[in-house]
Amino acid sequence: MTDKRQRWDIFCRIVDNYGDIGVCWRLARQLAHEYSLDVRLWVDTLPVAQRLLPALDTQLSEQVLDGVTIAHWSPEFQFDRIADVVIEAFACELPEPYINAMVAHAPVWINLEYLSAEAWVEEFHLQPSPHPRLALKKTFFFPGFTENTGGLLRERRLMEDRDTAPALSTAAFSMAVTPANALRVSLFAYPQASLAALFTAMANGDRPVACLIPESSLLAPVSQFFGTEKLLPGDHYSQGTLSIHILPFLSQAQYDQLLWSCDLNFVRGEDSWIRAIWAGRPFIWQPYIQSEDTHLVKLEAFLQRYLPPLQTEAADVWRSFHRQWAQLQLAAESWPQLVHALPAIQQHAKQQSQALAAQDDLAAKLVIFVRNFQ
């Protein structure tokens, strides 16, 4: 029997870090699971993808994982067919032979862009771009926070899963026992972050802090702070009221669980940021550092959209902490102020997760767009 499912090819070039593959894998899986689509994800750097997908065999040119075909986008790129829908993630530039072959098949060609809360996104979302040479058109698809954008990535059952998830056991992450009233904080940030200032403030606070740190490039400055050579999953250190616990790099599902069970999450980039929003818990987002401080513009746009209607004092504290963290400079008093504001922030984060989840998600909007495409 031939497979009649609509075929989607997603092309992902891993520029840096985990965000590109994190977003593409999440989207690919959701399209396959929730819409029964035949999804093939082309990835150029399999060893990086393997961090998120430990079951991935980096030696194979093609394999099926969790209902998605993962194909190696190698320099000797070869393909057997053109899909019905082609997603070029983050302007990664499709291989020339594939583009040429698209002319005869006329697939829906979508350029999936990075997420931003900036106002211009609404205007550029769904703008067509004709190919300069060939009879092809691609459409720019911008994720975003409003109805007039491509929406945010969110699995259909995510909020139910979050609300019915069992509490995360300390054993699950082989954590040392921490005081019962410790503030649970997860930490994922760029290595340039103002870690020493944060840890010093946490170590000198009124309330104990258990800081959970999944393995990443952040471990280098963390080990520097604690004067150790190399930190490994399972290691833990204490200083004053702060204890840190190094976790392995988690699966995306486990990472969600971690976010759901912390009192405060430090996140970065694109995908962990959105997961922190869906967690409905207080978070501090560090945007991906860009030249000319573009990331600070993105931060302001987000804060402007996300903070209202939080009461002024807590909003000021949260905004100011975000700005300092993104500017890689943290004042000592910012930490106790943030801890004090957490109850109000918590309530707001919960409300915002509900409000944003009432909008259509990115995969749903993509599917609707393709259905109506002409």
- By annotation, the residues acting in catalysis are 20, 270
Q: In terms of DSSP bridges, do strands 183-187 and 264-268 run parallel, antiparallel, or are they unpaired?
A: parallel
List CB contacts of 327: < 8 A, sequence separation 6 or more: 296
Task: State both tokens at 124.
Answer: 């550029």
List CB contacts of 121: < 8 A, sequence separation 6 or more: 142, 144, 149
Asked whether position 306 contacts ligand TRH by CB under 6 A, the answer is no
List CB contacts of 244: < 8 A, sequence separation 6 or more: 199, 211, 212, 213, 222, 226, 236, 237, 238
CB of 105 to ligand TRH, least distance (A): 30
Asked whether position 294 contacts ligand TRH by CB under 6 A, the answer is no
CB of 189 to ligand TRH, least distance (A): 9
Residue nearest to ligand TRH (CB): 19
Asked whether position 107 contacts ligand TRH by CB under 6 A, the answer is no
How far apart CA 306 and CA 227 sit, in angstroms, is: 38
Q: Binding string, 159-198, against ligand TRH, x = CB under 6 A?
A: -----------------------------x----------
Segment contacting ligand TRH (CB under 6 A): 230-238, 243-251, 334-342, 362-370? Answer: 243-251
Nearer Cβ to ligand TRH, position 225 or 288? 288
| Longest distance between any two alpha carbons in the chain, whole Å | 67
Nearer Cβ to ligand TRH, position 1 or 253? 253
Contact pick of 8, 11, 18, 237 for ligand TRH (by CB under 6 A): 18
Asked whether position 216 contacts ligand TRH by CB under 6 A, the answer is yes
Closest CA to 41 of 11, 18, 64: 11
If phi over 0 gives left and psi between -120 and 50 gives alpha, with beta otherwise, what is residue 293? left
How far apart CA 223 and CA 231 sit, in angstroms, is: 6
Asked whether position 144 contacts ligand TRH by CB under 6 A, the answer is no
How many residues touch ligand TRH under the rule CB under 6 A: the total is 23
204 burial level (CB within 10 Å; 0-12, 13-18, 19+): middle
Nearer Cβ to ligand TRH, position 247 or 370? 247
Asked whether position 297 contacts ligand TRH by CB under 6 A, the answer is no
Nearer Cβ to ligand TRH, position 29 or 268? 268
Footprint of ligand TRH on 249-288 (CB under 6 A): 249-252, 255, 268-272, 288
Nearer Cβ to ligand TRH, position 189 or 314? 189
Footprint of ligand TRH on 47-66 (CB under 6 A): 52
Question: What single letter denotes the amino acid at residue 20?
Answer: D
| DSSP 8-state secondary structure symbol assigned to residue 167 | P
Residues in the chain: 374
Nearer Cβ to ligand TRH, position 44 or 271? 271
Could you list the residues that contact ligand TRH (CB under 6 A)?
15-20, 22, 52, 114, 188, 214, 216, 249-252, 255, 268-272, 288
